[in-house]
Amino acid sequence: MGVREDLDDLDLAEVVKPKRVGPKRAGLIPVIDRRLQIWGEWRLANDGQWSTEAAGSSMLGKLIDGGGQLSRTTNPSAGSMPDDVFDTDQAVSKLPVKLQMAVEVQYMCLDLTRDEKAEKCGCKHRAFHYRLGDAHKKILMLLRSPRGGAQGGF
């Protein structure tokens, strides 16, 4: 099933337990890592196209139509954000600034080394990966619905 795994089927204790898979991926949650990779790829390919106008209507109109949430579609060719990317984007935007910065640098600054990524966030690489792992845990919790269901088709 890949990225579309149901979060409710995952054992939370097993998912957030750091796995010994090497220094670059320690503490990261694989399903969240993949989802953030897709989010980062979409953002890099479409940055700026959806932030002010999408699919021919104004941002204000989309907010009103969506009851305060951006209205979205699963048709990426229409210029709007796919549902999974939207849900991930919403979760990232709710993170504390330091964690949000770590996520953006990790998944959108692909040409930087790990030390350059850490420097861009104003910390050492060990702290950078701690922030990234913390962000993964928070994003997992944000993507899980309060009633036990999953948001975004996981």
Q: Hey, where are the domains in the chain?
A: 2-50+81-143
77: pLDDT confidence band, cut at 50, 70 and 90?
A: very low
Q: Is the pLDDT of residue 101 over 70?
A: yes
The stretch 21-25 carries a mean pLDDT of: 46
| CB distance 107 to 135 below 8 Å | no
Mean pLDDT of the residues in the chain = 75
C-alpha 82/C-alpha 86 separation (Å) is 6
pLDDT over 60 (residue 109): yes
Q: What is the tally of helices (H) and strands (E) in the chain? A: 7, 2
Residue type, 140: L
pLDDT the model gives residue 16? 57
Give the best-scoring range by mean pLDDT among 66-75, 81-90, 144-153: 81-90
Torsional sign, CA 90, 28, 38, 35 = negative
Decide: 7 and 154 in contact? Cβ < 8 Å.
Answer: yes
Residue 150 has pLDDT above 80, yes or no: no
Q: What is the pLDDT of residues 27-53, one digit of tens each?
A: 799 999 999 999 999 999 987 554 433
* Distance set, CA 40 to CA 17, 20, 48, 55, 58 (Å): 24, 25, 13, 21, 24
